[in-house]
Amino acid sequence: MINVVTLKFGCKIEMDLNRYQVKTGSSPRLARCDPADKTEVPATKRAREDASRKIGAQIDVLQNKLYAERRRSVLIVLQGMDTAGKDGTIRHVFNVVDPLGVRAVCFRAPTGAELEHDFLWRVHAEVPRHGEIAIFNRSHYEDVLITRVHRWIDKAECKRRYRVINDFEQQLADSGTIVLKFFLNISKDEQRQRLQERIDDPNKRWKFNPQDLEERKHWDEYQAAYEDAISATSSANAPWYVIPSNSKSTRNLLVSMILKQTLESMNLKYPAPAQDYSKIIVN
C-alpha cells in the first residue's frame, strides 16, 4: 500500500502504509513500535500539516460519494492510552469533511441498563448507517482492556469476547461496512508530559481526571492487554493499524492517508439518475 502525496511546488512524498498494519494472527510487539517514528512522513511539521490538508480535501470528495451512494459505510475505531489523541485525531482528520455523513460516538463507562445486557448491546445501535462514516472514540474494545487489566473478567471470558468481537466485525463487513481500527501509540513519557500540560494549563484543566493517574500505574498491563487484543482481532476485513502518535501531525497524516486509500479502494461512484435529465432547462 504505497501512497503518493503532492505537496506545494510539485514536491511528492511516498508513504508505505503497510508497515503500520498488523497482519492476521501476528502480534504488534508494542515495545518494538517506536511511538516517535517518522520514517514514512515528511520531516517537518509544516509539510505534514500541508499534506494532511490536501488529503482532507480528497477525503471530503470521497465521503460525498459514499454518502450519495448509500450502499456501504465505514467504521473507524480509535483506541489508545489516556492522552493518546483520540479527540484530536477526529478534529483534524475530519475538519473539512461534510458533517452530514460523519458521526462520532464516545463510549464511556457503561450505565446500569447497559451492564444488564451483553457487552455489544450498546454498540450495535451505533454502527454506521449506509453512506455514513462513524468514528468510535473508544469502543467495544474497552470490554477486553480495562476489564482484563482490573481482573473484572478472567482469561477464558476475555478469549470468548475476542471471538464475539471477530464475529461482530465480520457481520459488519458482510453487510457492507469497512472497519478500520487504529491504536494511537504514545510513549509513557509522552503521556506524562500531556497529563502535566492538562494540569498546568487552565484552558486544558477541564480534561484532567485524577483517575487517569491511577490507570497510568497499570501501563505495562495495558500494553500487554492491547497486544493480545490486537493480535486476536486484526483481520483482513477489520485490520488494526499501530500509529506512532507522539507527534500529533504524524498521527493525523497517517490516519488520513489510510482512510483515503481505503475509500479509494472502494471505487465509489455517484449513483446514476433515474432518467436522463441532461436536456432539462430550468426557467
pLDDT tens, residue by residue, 194-243:
999 999 999 999 999 999 999 999 999 999 999 999 999 999 999 999 99
CATH code of residue 155 = 3.40.50.300
Count of beta carbons in the 10 Å neighbourhood of residue 218: 15
The reply to whether 168 falls in a domain is yes
Q: Which helix (H) or strand (E) holds 67?
A: helix 45-69
CA gap 20, 124 in Å, rounded: 28
pLDDT tens, residue by residue, 100-132:
999 999 998 899 999 999 999 999 999 999 999
The reply to whether 72 falls in a domain is yes
Distances (CA, A) of 259 to 17, 27, 153, 227, 253: 11, 22, 34, 23, 10
The reply to whether 277 falls in a domain is no
Cell of 141: 474494545
% of the chain surpassing 90 pLDDT: 88
CA gap 247, 259 in Å, rounded: 19
**Strand, coil or helix: 3:** strand
The reply to whether 259 falls in a domain is yes
Give the range of the structural domain holding residue 207, as residue numbers without chain letter. Answer: 2-265
The reply to whether 247 falls in a domain is yes
**Strand, coil or helix: 225:** helix
Cell of 154: 478472567
Q: Are 123 and 110 in contact (CB under 8 A)?
A: no
> What's this model's pTM, rounded to 2 decimal places?
0.93
Cell of 169: 466485525
Please name the amino acid found at residue 262. Answer: T
CA gap 227, 186 in Å, rounded: 14
Q: Are 178 and 262 in contact (CB under 8 A)?
A: yes
Phi and psi at 176, nearest 5°, equal 100, 15
**Strand, coil or helix: 34:** coil
The reply to whether 276 falls in a domain is no
Averaged pLDDT, 168-178: 97
Please enumerate in sequence order all residues whose Cβ is within 8 A of that of 212, keeping only pairs 6 or more positions apart, or say none.
82, 83, 195
Mean pLDDT of the chain: 93
Q: Which of 10-24, 150-164, 203-217 has the lowest mean pLDDT?
A: 10-24
Q: Are 243 and 182 in contact (CB under 8 A)?
A: yes
Does the structure show a pLDDT above 80 at 2?
no
Only one residue has cell 485525531, namely: 89
Only one residue has cell 482512510, namely: 259
For the chain, the domain total comes to 1
The reply to whether 200 falls in a domain is yes
The reply to whether 33 falls in a domain is yes
Does the structure show a pLDDT above 80 at 167?
yes
pLDDT band of residue 275 (cuts 50, 70, 90) is: confident
